[in-house]
Structure 1
Amino acid sequence: MKIACVTDDGRTISRHFGRAPYYAVLTVENGQIVERELRDKLGHQHFVGQESHAAGEERHGTDPASHDRHVNMAEAISDCQVLLCGGMGYGAYQSITSLGITPMVTDLEDVEAAVAAYVAGQLTDHPEWLH
């Protein structure tokens, strides 16, 4: 299983999916982390001038153009089953889910501790923090 974590530094989980420049991707086999890599991640800075807010849009980031941007952001983790982050918008959450990746919003900051908690079935998801 591959678990991606949104990160600014490779060690801690970022509080904002769209702004983080990297994914820390950890491969887990038999409950143990066996590989770790840092992958570049597209973010808001790569889509300057492409922002859109659909008329009547109830929640930020749920329009088709935003979905396309979220899919592009997630392209680097298409081989992952789970995405851990400290926060994200509703649209990003929906887009990631539509790709077959399970997003989880966590209060844990340490990448390895969060992955270990997920593997142990002890990581609490906080969807109430979606914005």
Structure 2
Amino acid sequence: MKIAIPTDDGKTVASHFGRAEYFMIVELEDGKEISRRLSENLHARGHGHHAHHDHHEHHEGYGHGWHHGEHGYGEGHRHGHEEVFASTGDIQAVIAVRIGPHMFEDLKERGIEIYLVQPGTSIDEAISKLTTGALKKIEPRK
């Protein structure tokens, strides 16, 4: 299983999935980590890091953070998510702190599992929690 974890420093899970500077791509086999590599987030580079960071709002209860004022593009625009998926490659899961509603839908459409952690969680801790079953998969509301 390949997992993408957003990170700005290579050590901790970034606060927003699509806007992280990098993705740590971790490969697990039989519950053990077999590889880890850092991949630049082409979407963040193209928009200038932190360009849209001034209007976050985190809602408890649904399981993923919504943020308002998503890029202001019209219907049909994929919010640059193809760049994100080009950065992550073929993955089966993501671990994040916050995922916007459009990215959440794109991940679900692709069959990618979503796991959430608290802000400030280290990548090592996130992987450990995933392999021990401490992280719960986020399911869309029916």
- Would you say same fold, with TM above 0.5? yes
For 1:64 and 1:105, the matched residues in 2 are separated by 27
Which ranges of structure 1 fall in alignment gaps of 5 or more residues? 55-62
* Other structure's SS at 1:114 match: helix
Which ranges of structure 2 fall in alignment gaps of 5 or more residues? 49-70
Structure 1, residues 24-55: CA drift from partner, whole Å, max 9, x if none?
0111112111111000112345147xx4344x
Structure 1, residues 48-74: CA drift from partner, whole Å, max 9, x if none?
7xx4344xxxxxxxx421x25113212
Measured after TM superposition, the shift of residue 104 of structure 1 is: 2.1
Query: Once superposed, which parts of structure 1, at least 4 consecutive aligned residues long, lie more than 4 Å away?
Result: none
1:86 matches 2:111:
no
Structure 1, residues 70-115: CA drift from partner, whole Å, max 9, x if none?
1321222231111111112111111122122222222161112111
Q: Give the alignment's TM-score, normalised by structure 1.
A: 0.76
What does residue 85 of structure 2 align with? 74
For 1:14 and 1:126, the matched residues in 2 are separated by 18
Aligned length in residues = 117
Measured after TM superposition, the shift of residue 124 of structure 1 is: 3.8
For 2:98 and 2:27, the matched residues in 1 are separated by 22
CA RMSD of aligned residues (A): 2.4
What does residue 51 of structure 2 align with? none
Give the percent of matched residue pairs that are identical in Structure 1 and Structure 2. 25
Preserved contact between residue 5 and residue 85 of structure 1 (Cα < 8 Å): yes
Preserved contact between residue 25 and residue 37 of structure 1 (Cα < 8 Å): yes
